Structure 1
Amino acid sequence: MNSKLIKKTFLILIFTLFYTNISAQSKNVLWYKQPAEFFEESLVLGNGKMGATVFGGANSDKIYLNDITLWSGEPVNANMSPDAYKNIPVIREALKNENYKLAEELNKKVQGKNSESYAPLGTLEINNSEKGKAVNYHRELDLSNAISKVSYEMAGIKYTREYFVSAPDQIMIIKLTADQKGALNFDVNLKSLLKSNVEVRNNILVMKGNAPIHENAGYTVLPKYLDIKERGTRFTTLIQIKKTDGKVTSSRESLSLKDATEATIYVSVATSFNGFDKNPATEGLDEVSIALQNLNKAYAKPFDKVKESHIADYQKFFNRVNLDLGKTTAPDVPTDERLLRYADGKEDKNLEILYFNFGRYLLISSSRTLGVPANLQGLWNPHLSPPWSSNYTMNINLEENYWLAENTNLSEMHSSLLSFIKNLSVTGKITAKTFYGVNKGWAAAHNSDIWAMTNPVGQFGKEDPMWACWPMAGAWLSTHIWEHYTFTQDLAYLKKEGYPLMKGAAEFCLGWLVTDKNGNLITSPSTSPENQYKLADGFVGATLYGGTADLAMIRECFDKTIKASKVLNTDADFRAKLETALAKLYPYQIGKKGNLQEWYFDWDDNDPKHRHQSQLFGLFPGDHITPLKTPDLAEASRKTLEIKGDETTGWSKGWRINLWARLWDGNRAYKMFRELLRYVDPDGKKTEKPRRGGGTYPNLFDAHPPFQIDGNFGGAAAVAEMLVQSDENEIRLLPALPDAWGEGSVSGICARGGFEIEMTWNNKKPQKIIVSSKNGGKTTVIFGDKKQDIVLKKGESLEIKF
């Protein structure tokens, strides 16, 4: 054997061993031996606006299509109930008299419309002419390049498909190949659950339609609303096939390709949505020309160029963070089997990394449209009547979607939410006046939608106040603005956009607060999101005064607005008002069980294990409760979590993992993280012993159940929180590292102050630490009882040894 051949054989062997190891211990690839049968097994792609849910069937492939701007409805009439605020004094009087039953009934008078819902755009089907049994089937999603692939053999021919959704070209690409000449024969068709029309023009498959204009009361869209002309958001989908050989033909409603070896399908979608305050029918964008322009531009480029620019664009975000959790002995098995094995308590560190990476992948894929953040299902909704309207639920879910934006180095994705907050402030000024009688600032409530609806929901008095009556979303959301500033140090943003929004949220809170009989400032009426108290006389209600969650959010809002005004050296008089009010807020109370009270009085919870833990807001995502600064309150928070227990699902589990991380209890946080990854069968799957409840579906989607994306985001954020915690003055390394992650490394995790961390650890102790500064600044780096002050210039890095 000559030396060249030996060298070549050796390289192939090394590559094979390397590739086998990668596939065995993949941190970036979800893969399966069979097509998806259910939505919860499918693989999702997105460019932040267009979403695709790929099933990967051999004889027939199904792809659900979404556009994040396709919602029911039209701009909201924020002034829908101009006199609602007149009920507030009467509710306050009832509460002052401790007549909670009356207050509960009266609170219903301060309700408006429910939100609109996120709509499914349509379904693309690729049907093969040859039917047969597929063998050697393989389906995957590679998070490192945001590309999905399917391969299989049928009748001795190998077929492959490659799918991606490009942000630079605003197009979906599906490349199909056969390893024998002329073996590709398929039809392509489109359909939609919405009112639509499909036809073929110039060998382009065209689907045009409209979203309904009205969300009816019970979270279902009634067909009669589909027939109102010149109303609602229009959408267009265009599909064109580019072939190397073979022949494209068409019928009235489908495209066909015959006798081809290789082909590329281009999918372009657009809607007439033109902003939250523009009527999409009369002031909408020209969705047909936008879709056609995107199609023509992409179609004119070679496939490889479109793919290269897609990968380059995606990787500039995804590649910023790299996590390793040390040696693993987990075997090379498909992702669904991997989850089952993990659910039995087996070790699979790279599955834990895969879940973390998947969270970052989902945010990049669903949050790149200004003013339209990721919703309850991110970007991927197949339902005409999705769970909870797939809307923006702002008493936790929308915010949890963005907990990983800054600390996992995806600050640009935060912009979708930050720009949405600006929209909310516009309708929210009217809501503050008309629903709450507060003439300064802006307010937002429990639910919203693409139209930046801010009114309290409840169908004008038909719903339960425990969830419908809650005006604190503005206070909570305003803290995201400060988060963005502290991580990026973007002073221009804070001055121009951020601070005025924070000030508006704080102004509303100032105007909303009243004095209790002891001279403390409280909110009245108040509720604690979706929870209820139980009085000694057996009355179960939600309306009270001085709820802990309200005051925690106002504390955080005031604290951050004060800090922002100091940074900008502005508004000294307003800052003084906030400081005075902050000092007068009704203090936290520790109850008879040692818990942090949720209610003004030490009342019983109707459900002691309730999924919400809003009274712990100050511990996380806020930062005014910490084990060091407020040990008594931290201990009461711990007691509260212990009473609630660990049995909860989805976003709630994601939140609790972060709370345990903030209490520096890494092993408890890790226990719950493992539970978040508990295998759950697809909702529609019939099995003898179905695995139901909360956890993770085969495609790694969060099972609340049903699917809600916030658990994915909260779980991924918690991993970062276990490794690094920070505030404006300090960075704490490995504060909640579980025993299971005794060795590892991470790079690209961000800390407040504009810093980035790279570190390796062994025996749960940092070995190598490099701190880099994006803008220059000082901080204190802490591990255990060791501290080191550092000052860095812009772009400078420093290696630290403890």
Structure 2
Amino acid sequence: MQSNRLNKLFLVVICFSFCASVSAQSDHILWYKQAADYFEESLVLGNGKMGATVFGGVDSDKIYLNDITLWSGEPVNANMNPEAYKNLPAIREALKNENYKLAEELNKKIQGKNSESFAPLGTLNIDNHHTGKATNYYRELDISKAISKVSYEIDGVKFTREYFVSAPDQIMVIRLTSSKKGALNFDINSNSLLKFKMEAKDNVLSMNGVAPIHENPGYQVVPTFLLEKERGTRFTTLIKIKNTDGTITSSTSSLGLKDATEALIYVSIATSFNGFDKNPATKGLNDKAIALDNLNKAFSKSFDKLKQSHIADYQKFYNRVTLNLGKTEAPNLPTDERLLRYADGKEDKNLEILYFQYGRYLLISSSRTMGVPANLQGLWNPYLNPPWSSNYTMNINLEENYWLAEITNLSEMHLPLLSFIKNLSVTGKVTAKTFYGVDEGWAAAHNSDIWAMTNPVGVFGKEEPMWACWPMAGAWLSTHIWEHYAFTQDKDYLKNEGYELMKGAAQFCLKWLVEDQNGNLITSPSTSPENQYITPDGFIGATIYGGTADLAMIRECFDKTIKASKVLNVDAEFRTKLETALSKLHPYQIGKKGNLQEWYFDWNDKDPKHRHQSQLFGLFPGDHITPLKTPELASASRRTLEIKGDETTGWSKGWRINLWARLWDGNRSYKMFRELLRYVDPDKKKTEKPRRGGGTYPNLFDAHPPFQIDGNFGGAAAVAEMLVQSNESEIRLLPALPDAWESGSVKGICARGGFEISMEWNAKTLKKVTVFSKNGGKTTLISGDKNKAITLKKGQRIEIIW
């Protein structure tokens, strides 16, 4: 009797626990009650090279496929405008004479071609032979496992699909099941917006095609690419079904399965891309052989084995960081409904955690191919003519993609960008000489692509200098190399590869600087990314000298290169040159409105609320402006942000949240973080009152709009920045903690100096911190008005009750 009572109680406890776990809203699962109709509702998967965009339809399931190495074009001719630099004296003379209109026109002579485009590989369609109406539809993406699922019922039969893209096996796997024996009937076909051929042979559906060749002027695809021969990147898609019962069928362009209960679909893709400097048609990889080899190896493995190795590989990165933001009362709702509820000002701490971890998920999923970093859309692009070519925009967007890499414990995901910088340094040497007349170091400009293009864009004088003429990408990108060292303390990388890249960027800047009338060093010509000034006589332009953003990036570049040379104990003479130049740079100016001036003179902006805030580079991502070290400049930065306001595009809001965090204003950061998660309708969805503007789409993609992934990455980085800030000698804990996150805990956030931080807080006060040292070293922990100096050996962990 007593035993039965205990058993019943035990069952009640189990049921209660299970029900509680089901009803509590998730911090790692996106889920929906309906299939996706639009790209911005789909769920994305990726292994850092292959991307899949899953719609989860009932009658027909559409899956967009991408390969991060499939781009238009071929290796760039860096020497495309060999005498462009000869226009510089005339531009500088016009600026010296304050003739900004003439300088603006002449600046167009320092332009080259535009970037190539990230190409859509194709679409996989699974057409299900259903006859009834679906009920109990459910679709999810579990970002803790990088697995998506769909389930529904038709006439009492439950159908399920499970999808993942494996990095260890370089394969996409889809498992389809039915609860009734023999109820599974479907056909598979595939197509592409590119030139391709389909064939079904030996139960394998193959698609072979080629990416376009075009210069892409004005971001428009020229259809004549279809006529090109022996040029362009080749691609192969192979699809094969593994069945336990039923019959596999095929036609000339499709595969199918009849009367089955369970089936696996294996999808293997490859391209001929073989490096930024090799012709993919004549010196390319054998995409057909690679795709077939990956397919055959994976096909011999069971679903469970493939799934286990996929999860193990993914979780070794994902599981490094956990975040808890305290008690939540939010109900368990589908993700689109959660966003709408949150946009109404309701509390949902687990949605905030989900958004943070989703950023990490996207980086793991899109940045694991050396030399090919995550692009404007990460790895997921369905368009032949994607927004802004889905390229590498290097006046903010590419860099913002990687702000979260080191701090959120994903250092390995930073490597594709660092290796890309090495590629840029090769073409960038030619660009420095031919476009800027600088014979030392390397330079890069506003846009790039898989071919490591570094020239200033603008179609040889046809486009506006406000965005086309900007040579500071090398200076900005070089700081990522130092960041990687600062977080990892990997001296071998710094010595063998990183330092020379930093030095090359600094060498260019050193030669690019000229003296102004006061004997200070400035850049001339100069622009401030995508913004325009108004002169006192009413001229609206972009070309000037001594732009604040240029000098901020050069300050950061010189400072970090000096530090690197000291760490390695090399180049003392060059270091002295940098230190001298650093002391002579035209100083920051505070304008009449109390703002940090963007221009050399205290001129008004054409758009005072402009989305770029490049003059604040020294506050974030740089670190030479801080509330303690430079209080006047920090105060002027705050005023600049107040003038700009909080309403802006997705990626810009992500940047501003980080800037407010660096000003230690947690509540302002949090206000904007909430706005970043404002629900935005899919671009093509027609509703009576469409919700548009910057924010977040139903699938948590960032709305610039349109979709740009940098907002996701910038927003995730900002969460970490609110919790931990560091430099080479100190770590600030909870520096910008908002009131809304009164209690919580975090595990695995990284700090400069090679430290890993876990901590707990309550009533907005740090209670306990654990510090792990990867390489040994000393630092000072600071939280509130308390600080503690610590020294740790390599691999040592210390716990401190605060």
Structure 2 distance, partners of 1:4, 1:211, is 69
Structure 1: which amino acid aligns with 2:218? G
In the alignment, what sits opposite 1:219?
Answer: 219
Structure 2 distance, partners of 1:9, 1:257, is 47
Structure 2 distance, partners of 1:625, 1:711, is 23
Unmatched runs of 5 consecutive residues or more in structure 2? none
Q: How does 1:156-195 map to 2 (within 5 A)?
A: 156-195=156-195
1:13, distance to aligned residue in structure 2 (A): 4.7
1:221, distance to aligned residue in structure 2 (A): 1.3
| Kept after mapping to 1: 8 A contact 2:23/2:331 | no
1:226, distance to aligned residue in structure 2 (A): 1.7
In structure 2, the CA distance between the partners of 1:140 and 1:727, relative to structure 1 (3 Å rule), is: same
1:6, distance to aligned residue in structure 2 (A): 5.7
Q: 4+ residue stretches of structure 1 with deviation over 6 A?
A: none
In the alignment, what sits opposite 2:152?
Answer: 152
1:213, distance to aligned residue in structure 2 (A): 1.1
In structure 2, the CA distance between the partners of 1:252 and 1:579, relative to structure 1 (3 Å rule), is: same
In the alignment, what sits opposite 2:589?
Answer: 589
Structure 1 distance, partners of 2:325, 2:15, is 23
1:155, distance to aligned residue in structure 2 (A): 1.3
Identity of aligned residues (%): 80
| Kept after mapping to 1: 8 A contact 2:110/2:435 | yes
In the alignment, what sits opposite 1:202?
Answer: 202
Structure 1 distance, partners of 2:130, 2:381, is 31
Structure 2 distance, partners of 1:546, 1:670, is 34
1:216, distance to aligned residue in structure 2 (A): 2.4
In the alignment, what sits opposite 1:487?
Answer: 487
Number of corresponding residues = 802
In the alignment, what sits opposite 1:99?
Answer: 99
Structure 1: which amino acid aligns with 2:487? F
Structure 2 distance, partners of 1:644, 1:534, is 16
In the alignment, what sits opposite 1:263?
Answer: 263
User: Are 1:680 and 2:680 an aligned pair?
Assistant: yes
Report Cα offsets for 1:342-380 as digits up to 9, x if no partner.
Answer: 000000000000000000000000000000000000000
Secondary structure of 2:217's counterpart equals coil
In the alignment, what sits opposite 2:523?
Answer: 523
User: Are 1:760 and 2:751 an aligned pair?
Assistant: no
Q: How does 1:557-572 map to 2 (within 5 A)?
A: 557-572=557-572
| Kept after mapping to 1: 8 A contact 2:771/2:799 | yes
User: Are 1:52 and 2:42 an aligned pair?
Assistant: no
In the alignment, what sits opposite 2:739?
Answer: 739
Structure 2: which amino acid aligns with 1:786? K
1:214, distance to aligned residue in structure 2 (A): 1.1
1:23, distance to aligned residue in structure 2 (A): 5.0
User: Are 1:725 and 2:725 an aligned pair?
Assistant: yes
| Kept after mapping to 2: 8 A contact 1:400/1:710 | yes
Structure 1 distance, partners of 2:82, 2:179, is 68
In structure 2, the CA distance between the partners of 1:593 and 1:7, relative to structure 1 (3 Å rule), is: same
Q: How does 1:321-360 map to 2 (within 5 A)?
A: 321-360=321-360
| Kept after mapping to 2: 8 A contact 1:24/1:333 | no
Structure 2 distance, partners of 1:488, 1:19, is 43
In structure 2, the CA distance between the partners of 1:16 and 1:32, relative to structure 1 (3 Å rule), is: farther
Secondary structure of 2:406's counterpart equals helix
Unmatched runs of 5 consecutive residues or more in structure 1? none
1:339, distance to aligned residue in structure 2 (A): 0.2
Q: How does 1:550-699 map to 2 (within 5 A)?
A: 550-699=550-699
Q: Which moved more, 1:422-431 or 1:4-13?
A: 4-13
User: Are 1:420 and 2:420 an aligned pair?
Assistant: yes
Structure 1 distance, partners of 2:265, 2:427, is 42
Structure 1 distance, partners of 2:273, 2:12, is 52
| Kept after mapping to 2: 8 A contact 1:743/1:761 | yes
Structure 1: which amino acid aligns with 2:335? T
Secondary structure of 2:132's counterpart equals coil
1:785, distance to aligned residue in structure 2 (A): 1.7
| Kept after mapping to 2: 8 A contact 1:114/1:459 | yes
Structure 2: which amino acid aligns with 1:133? K
Structure 1: which amino acid aligns with 2:399? E
| Kept after mapping to 2: 8 A contact 1:75/1:279 | yes
In the alignment, what sits opposite 2:273?
Answer: 273
Secondary structure of 1:218's counterpart equals helix
User: Are 1:237 and 2:237 an aligned pair?
Assistant: yes
Report Cα offsets for 1:661-687 as digits up to 9, x if no partner.
Answer: 000000000000000000001111111
| Kept after mapping to 1: 8 A contact 2:533/2:542 | yes
| Kept after mapping to 2: 8 A contact 1:87/1:106 | yes
Structure 2 distance, partners of 1:228, 1:682, is 35
| Kept after mapping to 2: 8 A contact 1:25/1:328 | no
| Kept after mapping to 2: 8 A contact 1:66/1:379 | yes
Structure 1 distance, partners of 2:222, 2:126, is 30
Structure 1: which amino acid aligns with 2:190? L
1:18, distance to aligned residue in structure 2 (A): 3.9
Structure 2 distance, partners of 1:652, 1:598, is 16
In the alignment, what sits opposite 2:778?
Answer: 778
1:2, distance to aligned residue in structure 2 (A): 8.8
1:227, distance to aligned residue in structure 2 (A): 1.5
Secondary structure of 1:574's counterpart equals helix
Output the aligned Cα RMSD.
1.1
Report Cα offsets for 1:522-561 as digits up to 9, x if no partner.
Answer: 0000000000000111100000000000000000000000
Structure 2: which amino acid aligns with 1:285? L
In the alignment, what sits opposite 1:704?
Answer: 704
Structure 1: which amino acid aligns with 2:593? K
Structure 2: which amino acid aligns with 1:111? Q
Structure 2 distance, partners of 1:500, 1:770, is 35
Structure 2 distance, partners of 1:86, 1:597, is 31
In structure 2, the CA distance between the partners of 1:546 and 1:256, relative to structure 1 (3 Å rule), is: same
| Kept after mapping to 1: 8 A contact 2:115/2:216 | no
| Kept after mapping to 2: 8 A contact 1:722/1:737 | yes
In the alignment, what sits opposite 1:307?
Answer: 307
1:801, distance to aligned residue in structure 2 (A): 2.7
Structure 2 distance, partners of 1:7, 1:140, is 34
In the alignment, what sits opposite 1:378?
Answer: 378
In the alignment, what sits opposite 2:81?
Answer: 81
1:695, distance to aligned residue in structure 2 (A): 0.5
